[in-house]
Each structure stands twice: as structure tokens, then as C-alpha cells.
Structure 1
């Protein structure tokens, strides 16, 4: 088990590099990963089951004890990111598939890797975990609705069908994970050290399969997609921070909301794009899988080096024993 812990720690620390290396391999030898494209939805469901195993009722405590920061963060998540994606797609004149894919990336909930980044940044981890959990549970309604509003001009969107898909791929696996965690805690304890590594492997396979099946598209449109994702992620981090600051939240809350808003559940974006649009539409989410980990790590390192002053307005002090959901459950 110690070997798994070491491998998991190494993979979590260099997750962005792992994604980049395997993406390059997939681009050079697409036959290694192309066949996994048919199993993206199943793979993502397995990852979300793992997320459910790590959740507890206490992760939703802030919704009832101090809901204002949670409300601010979730509203920022579902307003800033789709709006920015729409503006970038329009200004860069992205092709229809890429435009819809970028907007889809902006409409999905936050990814749980953000919890790790907030922890490293010495931000408000309980707020981060609560935001991820709440935005994920709202995803069946908010993601199809926002996508219909912002992306309907580029590609047809079927909100009801997408609603059912998110229920099947996200909500049901999470609920199953919660039930296992509650009634079979020994299973959760034994799998705790394996889950982060397993999640990293699955996400790497998902991203690599998208790259493998889009080799020609990446060769022709890769740079514009990268620029779009870079701008989307950067503005998300920046505007999330200033939204929290403008509403006079604590410094720890500002850091948490910034990272939560800027880091999306790109795995869900890939799965939905591949299912309802085209493989090309999945490229923005695939690119974001690596890029947002790089920027999140950089930002967390920067904030960690700058001591956060004592602030009595913080929603909840970050306790030393409070760990993030997982090292890299989902991007």
C-alpha cells in the first residue's frame, strides 16, 4: 500500500506533466488510445463514484451555517465562466464546434482538483469542497440550461437529454459512492489510497483518447483552442477573485472562490461534448485538463508564500485535519 501512496503522491504532484506527456504520445501514436473514446462516459462515471466515496454530510455544512459565501461562489461559477466563454468564442470567431465546446467548458461545474489547489494555497478548504459539491449537484439543471442559452446559436442543444445524461453520469455515481461510504466505511478506508491514483489514470486515458481521435484537428486548430482555453481559465481565476473581494469576503474565501470559479470539471465537458456535439468540440475541455492544473498549481504556490492575515470574517477556519476530497479526483 505504501507503494501506491508514493505513486499516487508523485502522479498527483506532476499531474499536469502526466497529462501533457500522454497527450503527446496519443498525438504521435493515436492507435494506442483511440479505442478508449467509446468508453469516456463510463470512465467518467467511475471517477464520479470515487468522488462520492470521499464526500460526507459535513461537506455541505456551510450551506446551512454560513450560506452567503457559498451562494456568491456558486453564482460566480455559473455566471462568469459561461459568459466569458461566449465572449471569447465570439471575439476569436471560433468554428461552431469549438465555440460550442468552449461554452460547454464554461457551463460545467467546478472540478474537485480545485479542492487540492485551495488547500495548497492555504485558502478556505471547507468552502471549496462545499462549492464543488453544490455546483456538481446543480449541474443537471444549470449546465443544459446555460448551454442552451449561450451555445444554441452554434450547435443544436437538447437540454432534457443532457439533463438525463448528467444524472446518469454524475449524480447517480456520486449517490452510490455516498451510500457505500456511509454503510461500508471499511471499503472506503481501504480504497482511500488507491482512489487518487485511479482517478488520475482514468482522466489521463479520457484526455488521451480525445487527442488520439482528433489528431488532424489539433494539427490545424490546436493553437487557437489553446489561446481560447488560456483566456477562459485566466479570466475565470481573475474575475472569481475580484467578485469575492468586491463583496468583502475574507482573503481565504477570495482564494477559494477564485480557484473554484477558474477550474472546471473538464472531464464532464469532454464526455458531454463527445456525446452531444462532435469529438472536435471536446478539444477545449481536453486542453483545459492540463492547463488549469498548471495555472492552479502556480497560483496556489504564489498565495501559499504570502501569509494570509488573520480575518475574523472567514466563513470557516481551515483546520489542519481537514483534507481535500482527493489529490486529483476530477478536473
Structure 2
């Protein structure tokens, strides 16, 4: 089991590079993954079943114990990212299936990668996970609603198909995973060690299918236009997510402190691009190019998230900002250490006096 964990850690560390190499390989050898086009829904179902296996009732209770931050973070995600997508489609004059693909990835819930980035940046991982759970559970309802509102000007949006496919690949697998966790309890922990491997392999297969299905269309001028759009989409999500959380700190400073601001930044800016690609391939099957923005997003947001989390951690260390500071005050780490040392000395004196 230790070897499995080591391999999972290695795969996570190099996942972005592996994605790039795998995508290039499938571009030149499309028959490697094209067979999986009919199974993308099942592949994503496996990923979300694994997510359900890791969840307990405490994870859902956490949403109820801090509802304001979780709900506000989720609402911000479903407002900011879809509207940025529409604005970028207008600025870059995207049309047809490619515009639909950009809006679709913008309407998706936050991705599990955001949990890792929040952890690496010393953000509030518990809040990050809670927003991720709620946004994912809302996805089958929010995606068709937002797509009908924002993307129907480009193509006819199959609302019923989007809803049914989202329910099948999102709600059912998660619910089944949670039920299995409730039934088997701690026995599940032996399985969860391998879940990162299973999830990442499934995501790789989905990406391989998208690249193989689009082949010659992938690097024409119209498709390549999706690359700067995806980059700006993701970076704008980070910027507006952070700006929004800073604004909320002024309204409710107790709940939207520095660690929570980091969590909301990643939750807004990072998308479940695997879900976007799967829904594009199933609900817009006649236009597989709609899955291309999700594939580009999958590669890019892992790169940008890693860079941002690393920069944030180094920035905090350089300016001595404590991870649990109110609003990222410089020198708060030094003050926290001094406060801890003072409390320790006071405790020592109290014990000595008691003797």
C-alpha cells in the first residue's frame, strides 16, 4: 500500500506534464483513445464516485455550520465564471461550438484541483472542499439553466440532455460513493489510497478522447483562439474571486479572513474541466470541438494554480504573513510567534508559582 501511495504522489506531482505528453501522443496516434468516446460519462462517473467515497456526513454538516461562506463562495463561482466566459467570447468574436465550449467550462463547478492548490497556499481547505461539494451538487441544475441563458444564441442548447447527463455523471456516482462510505466505514480507507491514481487515469483518458476526436481541427486558427481565451478566463477568475473575497471581508471580516480569501480565489478560478469535456462530448456530440476549451482549461489551470499557490506561499514567508491572519497583514507571523512565546512563558510562570 505504501508503494501505491508513493505512485499516487508521483502522479500528482507530474500530472500536468503527463497531461501535455499524453495529449501530444493522442494527437499523433488518435486510435489510442478514440474508442473511449462512448465511455466518457462512465469515466467521469468513476472520478466522482471516488469523490463520494472520501466524503462523510461531517463534510455535509460543515456546509451547515458555515453556510454563509459556502453559499456566497458557490454563488460567486456560478456568477463570475459564466459571465467572464460570455464577455471573452464577445471580445474575441468566438462563435458556434467553440463559444459554447468556453461558456460550458465557465458554467461547470469548481474542480478538485482547487483543494490541492488551496492546501499548498495555506488556504482554508475545509471551506474549499465545502464549496466544491455544494457547487458540484448544484451542477446538474445550474449548468442547463446557465447554458440556456448564456449560450442559446450560438447553438440550440439541449437542456434536457445536459440535465440528465449531469445527473448521471455527477449526482448518482457521488451519492453511491457516500452510501458505500456509510456502509463500509473505515474499510473504505484501504481503497481511498488508490483513488487519486484512478481519478487521474480517468481524466487522462477523457483528455485523450477529446484530442483524438478533434484531431485535425485542434490546431487550426479558430481552435487555437481558445488558448488565450482559456488563459484569460482562468486568470480573471482568480483576480475577481480574490477581489470579491476582499470585498466580503469588509462586510463580514470574521468569516472572510486571509485563509478563506485564498480558498475562494481558487474555488472561483478553477473549473471541473473534465465534467465540461464529458458534457460537451455527450450533449453536443455532433460538435466535438465544443470539448476543446475544457481540455485546454484542464492543462492550463493546473499550471496556473501551481504557480499561484507557490507564489502565495513564498510571498507570505517573505513578508512574515501568518496563514491565519485577518487580512494578510505583514509581520503577523512574527507577532503570532511572539504571542505564542509570551503565552508559553506565562504558562511556565503560572506553573512555577503553583509549585
**TM-score normalized with structure 1 length:** 0.92
Within the alignment, does 1:260 sit opposite 2:267 as a pair?
A: yes
Match of 2:213 in 1: 213
How far apart, in 2, do the equivalents of 1:127 and 1:141 lie? 22
Paired residues for 1:1-331 under 5 Å: 1-220=1-220, 221-248=222-249, 249-277=256-284, 278-305=287-314, 306-307=316-317, 308-309=321-322, 310-311=324-325
Question: Structure 2: 5+ residue runs without aligned partners?
Answer: 250-255, 329-355
Aligned 8 A contact 2:242 2:262 in 1: yes
How far apart, in 1, do the equivalents of 2:210 and 2:93 lie? 23
Aligned 8 A contact 1:85 1:102 in 2: yes
Q: Deviations over 1:207-245 (max 9, x none)?
A: 011101111111203421111110111101110010001
How far apart, in 2, do the equivalents of 1:33 and 1:158 lie? 26
Give the length in aligned residue pairs.
314
Aligned 8 A contact 2:50 2:192 in 1: no
User: What RMSD, in angstroms, separates the aligned Cα atoms of the two structures?
Assistant: 1.5
What's the CA shift for 1:156? 0.9
How far apart, in 1, do the equivalents of 2:223 and 2:153 lie? 23
What's the CA shift for 1:38? 1.5
How far apart, in 1, do the equivalents of 2:245 and 2:27 lie? 40
Aligned 8 A contact 1:44 1:267 in 2: yes
Aligned 8 A contact 2:258 2:326 in 1: no
Question: Structure 1: 5+ residue runs without aligned partners?
Answer: 315-331
What's the CA shift for 1:66? 2.1
Structure number with greater CO (CA < 8 Å, separation at least 6) is 1
What's the CA shift for 1:27? 0.8
What's the CA shift for 1:265? 0.6
What's the CA shift for 1:95? 2.9
What's the CA shift for 1:187? 4.0
**TM-score normalized with structure 2 length:** 0.86
What's the CA shift for 1:3? 1.9
Match of 2:344 in 1: none
Aligned 8 A contact 1:62 1:70 in 2: no
